[in-house]
């Protein structure tokens, strides 16, 4: 069996209809890991790099558990999140949440949900684009720094 992980439940259902019994398709429903809500969640390492402390939110725990169960039964796990900075980061977070190396998971992208587009994407898999992931992480860290540290000061 092969597993394809998308963001949208509707997209998952449509794609599953195209691919048949050799594929399982599941939706992450967007972000499944983030910085903690109850604390700052960013530290500074010995090289003065900002290090985010991501965790799976309680509301996403069941989705991660379901993805992980399917992943354990799968020969290949495809990351098929949206092709933008956010989607690339979501795919990277999914890999980490199911304890897989993001570098080893094939990343597929498509711009229309048709059988031809999905099959073409499967034949042209690539790796997760770490430049896009890092750009998203930088944006998320800046959002946290501004929101968590500066907003109270400005208030």
Q: What is the pLDDT of residues 140-149, one digit of tens each?
A: 999 998 887 7
Task: Using alpha carbons, select from 5, 20, 8, 1 the residue that is nearest to residue 115.
Answer: 20
Per-residue pLDDT tens digits for 23-53: 999 999 999 999 998 899 999 999 999 999 9
Domains of the chain: 2-34+55-129 (3.40.50.140)
Per-residue pLDDT tens digits for 53-105: 999 999 999 999 999 999 999 999 999 999 999 999 999 999 999 999 999 99
Q: What residue ranges in 9-108 does DSSP mark as E strands?
A: 23-27, 33-34, 42-44, 50-52, 55-56, 76-79
| 149: number of Cβ within 10 Å | 11
pTM: 0.92
């Amino acid at each position: 069996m092969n597993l394809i992980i998308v963001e949208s439940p509707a997209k998952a259902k449509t794609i599953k209809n195209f691919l048949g019994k050799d594929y399982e398709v599941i939706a992450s429903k967007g972000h499944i890991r983030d910085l903690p809500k109850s604390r700052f969640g960013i530290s500074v390492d010995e090289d003065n790099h900002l290090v985010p402390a991501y965790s799976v939110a309680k509301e996403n725990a069941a989705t991660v558990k379901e993805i992980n169960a399917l992943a354990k039964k799968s020969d290949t796990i495809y990351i098929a999140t949206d092709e933008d900075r956010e989607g690339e980061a979501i795919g990277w977070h999914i890999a980490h949440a199911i304890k897989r190396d993001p570098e080893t998971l094939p990343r597929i992208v498509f711009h229309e949900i048709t059988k031809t587009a999905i099959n073409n994407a499967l034949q042209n898999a690539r790796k997760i684009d770490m430049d896009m992931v890092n750009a998203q992480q930088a944006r998320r860290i800046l959002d946290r720094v501004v929101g968590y540290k500066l907003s109270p000061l400005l208030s």
